[in-house]
Amino acid sequence: MTTQLVKCPECGKSARFDSSNKFRPFCSERCKLLDLGAWANESYSVPGEDADTELMSEDIPKNQN
């Protein structure tokens, strides 16, 4: 069985993409946490329309009882 190597999305180093690498697809815990921090800081985004965050009373489901 050959080991698949992938490029770490954070630093670009080669990383094993199998069960022996518990941080996959990252090469290390550091790279995994850096990526998580970037998501938490909203450094990454998915393109799309801005969401309306105000909840209107008509958006709340009526009690079905």
> Which pTM does this prediction carry?
0.64
Whole-number pLDDT of residue 29:
97
Q: Token pair for residue 34? A: 């850096």
Task: Please give the Cα distance from 4 to 14 (Å, whole number).
Answer: 10
Task: Please give the Cα distance from 25 to 9 (Å, whole number).
Answer: 7
Full pLDDT tens readout for the chain, 65 residues: 678 999 999 999 999 999 999 999 999 999 999 999 999 998 988 888 876 666 666 666 777 65
Cα 49 from chain centroid?
20
Closest of 44, 10, 42 to residue 27, by C-alpha: 10
Residue with tokens 């450094």: 43
Whole-number pLDDT of residue 45:
83
Whole-number pLDDT of residue 1:
61
3-state SS assignment for residue 39 = helix
Whole-number pLDDT of residue 15:
96
